[in-house]
Amino acid sequence: MEYKWTVLSNTTLGALVASINGTIILISLPVIFRGLHVDAFAPGNITLLIWLLLGYGVVTATLLVTFGRISDMWGRARMYNLGFAIFAVGSVMLFLVPNSGTLGAWELVGFRIVQGIGGAFLFANSAALITDAFPASERGKALGINQVAAMGGSVVGLVLGGVLAGLSDIQVGPLVLPAWRVIFLASVPVAIGGTVWAYYKLHDVVPMRQGQKIDYLGNTTFGAGLTILLVAVTYGLMPYGNQPMGWTSPWVWSGIGVGSALLAAFPFIEMRVPDPMFRLELFRIRAFAAGNLAGVLGSIARGGVMFMMVIWFQGIWLPLHGYSFSQTPFWAGIYMMPMMAGFVTMGPLSGWLSDRFGARYLASAGMGLSAATFVVLMFLPYNFVYWEMGAALFAQGCGMGMFAAPNTAAIMNAVPAEQRGTASGMRATLQNAGMQLSMALFFTIVLVGLSNGLSSSVYAALSSAGVPQPYLSQFTNAVSSNPTGALFGAFLGQNPMSFYIPLLPPNLQAQLGPTLLSRSFFPNAVAPAFLRGIDLAFLISAVLTGVAAIVSLMRGGRYVHELDAPEAARMQESVREGAQGSRPKLPVPAGGPSTRTGAQR
């Protein structure tokens, strides 16, 4: 009884701190770059900016399956504890980064990758450890609490990053602690404490399978393929030549081709090695296959769109409502909180309900609610009334909560006990990779929509502000040819128009500067074009989540792969007491393994 709650509390802490660190620097990047004396918008630093934003997620997504498989072989608690230790080391290194300038920024990227390696161990094993420790009748509730931490931590990271970014340098005796270091210091005591706690308390309760070998070929093929693919699509977001994005770069398409080819070869390798890292036979279990497919569709639908909504707040809505651009990163996190509230409300509750009634209809209803919310968002104007947006965000959070915990519990219940680490890693990999691909997909969709209408809307706005020819055309071309820079400028808390004002001669800068640099000029200039792009993104997300709801319904009835000892004991006791006339047969559902014991409940 005590141990299961120890597992839940420690793994929830691990999931929370790993998730927070995935987003904490998004809001605080301006402070970090200023502290390192680095211009984020210098041409040579765009790569640096992209890797600081997305490197943590790319590394985590790539390693999850490998670490889950290793954990099945060497011990889930042992590998989880190692992951917490690696995460703690990365946190300390980030706080103590020795250099400034571009070198210091690249050191941050490297230490974030160390953090991401530790985070991959935590994410890969959290669900498996909880499944090992809790009986099937309580897993939904426990996984619901864990999922709230894992999903909600990303929103908490936005707010916490904004709070810490607003601090001044701290004087400690003769030493001055720069504000940007405090951002990384926040996770250090939690990571160290969680590591000590994990090593002291956690142990493996399910025997590991002996005599297995590491699938070096499969690990190399999968890791290299997914890394190359995610890096290629990430670089597709960067300017290339005279193009605002890199999708015309031969290097990007070569990376996509090579990565896709390696991933396509991976299943054939796994079918031929004696101890594969990716247990393809698990996809014969309908609950596992449908749950993972619905999960990855939902991740693709949500990940990039949520990022675009943060930019909507920061670049358009908040400035129109009196917030300076420097304030918008923090307040964007605050105004996104209704989504977190909805997830916290429905995550544990839906997990508890799924323990009693199964995951099929509850998870499907959650995806259906998410699809309906995306449709509602399509009809909001760019200068919306906040209660309407807040209600939509809360409903989106409720839909995510209704789906996440039941779906995770159904996936983990459906697999053999000795393969839970692999299954947990596969589930987390598919969802995290979906989130990374979603960023590239929807950022591209919004930028294409923005590019198509940006020139005319900016030209009209500049003309109305009194910018004369020939500066009018030059100014319009500069803004419309680099929508990525404009959006990233707003995202990093700077008025994008400040980048273009130097195009005007000094007399016009003095005359038109107050108008062009006002809080309302940039939002009104780009909003019509931005709205067309994000409406298309909402439509695609609605379709994806609608398909995910249908797939979720196809998972079949409630299924537990094997009865745990507590469940079997209760059933035997019930038989002895005469509650049942005979021991019921335990059929394997359609799609389940023919050589295993299953229970249709």
For residues 1 and 180, the model is more confident at: 180
Tokens encoding 335: 């105004």
User: What pLDDT sits at residue 81?
Assistant: 93
- Cα 155 to Cα 17, 21, 307, 396, distances in angstroms: 12, 11, 11, 13
**What's the burial of 41, exposed, middle or buried (CB within 10 Å: 0-12/13-18/19+)?**
middle
| Average pLDDT estimate for 147-158 | 77
Nearest CA to 380 out of 542, 486, 538 is that of: 538
Compute the residue count for the chain.
601
Per-residue pLDDT at 216 exceeds 70: yes
For residues 490 and 310, the model is more confident at: 310
Q: How confident is the model at residue 244 (pLDDT cuts 50, 70, 90)?
A: low
User: What pLDDT sits at residue 197?
Assistant: 93
Q: How confident is the model at residue 192 (pLDDT cuts 50, 70, 90)?
A: very high
Per-residue pLDDT at 525 exceeds 70: yes
**DSSP one-letter string for 28-76:** HHHHHHHHHT--TTSGGGHHHHHHHHHHHHHHHHHHHHHHHHHHHHH-H
The mean pLDDT value of the chain amounts to 80
User: What pLDDT sits at residue 108?
Assistant: 92
Nearest CA to 103 out of 32, 27, 165, 48 is that of: 48
User: What share of the chain in percent tops pLDDT 90?
Assistant: 16
**What's the burial of 239, exposed, middle or buried (CB within 10 Å: 0-12/13-18/19+)?**
middle
Q: How confident is the model at residue 502 (pLDDT cuts 50, 70, 90)?
A: confident
Per-residue pLDDT at 591 exceeds 60: no
User: What pLDDT sits at residue 69?
Assistant: 77
User: What pLDDT sits at residue 596?
Assistant: 36
Per-residue pLDDT at 574 exceeds 60: no
Q: How far apart are CA 366 and CA 596, in angstroms?
A: 31
Q: Rounded to the nearest 5 degrees, what angle is found at the Cα of 115, between the Cα atoms of 109 and 119?
A: 135
Per-residue pLDDT at 584 exceeds 50: no
Pick the range with the lowest mean pLDDT from 141-145, 205-209, 406-410, 551-555: 205-209
Q: How confident is the model at residue 556 (pLDDT cuts 50, 70, 90)?
A: low
pLDDT, tens digit, 9 for 90 and up, residues 364-391 = 999 999 999 999 999 999 899 999 999 9
User: What pLDDT sits at residue 547?
Assistant: 94
User: What pLDDT sits at residue 558?
Assistant: 59
How far is Cα of residue 143 from the mean position of the Cα atoms in its chain? 18
* Residues 92/193/167/153 CA torsion (nearest 10 deg): 100
Burial annotation 403-419 (CB, 10 A radius, 16+ → b, else e): bbbbbbbbbbbbbbeeb
User: What pLDDT sits at residue 269?
Assistant: 87
| Average pLDDT estimate for 86-94 | 93
Per-residue pLDDT at 234 exceeds 80: no
User: What pLDDT sits at residue 86?
Assistant: 94
- Contact between 113 and 387 under an 8 Å Cβ cutoff? The reply is no
Q: How far apart are CA 59 and CA 70, in angstroms?
A: 17
Number of C-alpha atoms within 13 angstroms, CB side, residue 494?
A: 20
**Domain 1-204, second-level architecture:** Up-down Bundle (1.20)
Give the Cβ contact number of residue 251 at 10 Å.
12
For residues 42 and 286, the model is more confident at: 286
**Given its phi and psi angles, is residue 101 left (phi above 0), alpha (psi -120 to 50 degrees) or beta?**
left
pLDDT, tens digit, 9 for 90 and up, residues 267-283 = 888 888 877 777 777 78
Per-residue pLDDT at 539 exceeds 80: yes
User: Can you state the percent helix, strand and coil of the chain, rounding each to 5?
Assistant: 75, 0, 20
Tokens encoding 281: 């036979």
User: What pLDDT sits at residue 586?
Assistant: 36
Non-local CB neighbours of 509 within 8 Å, separated by 6+ positions: 501, 502
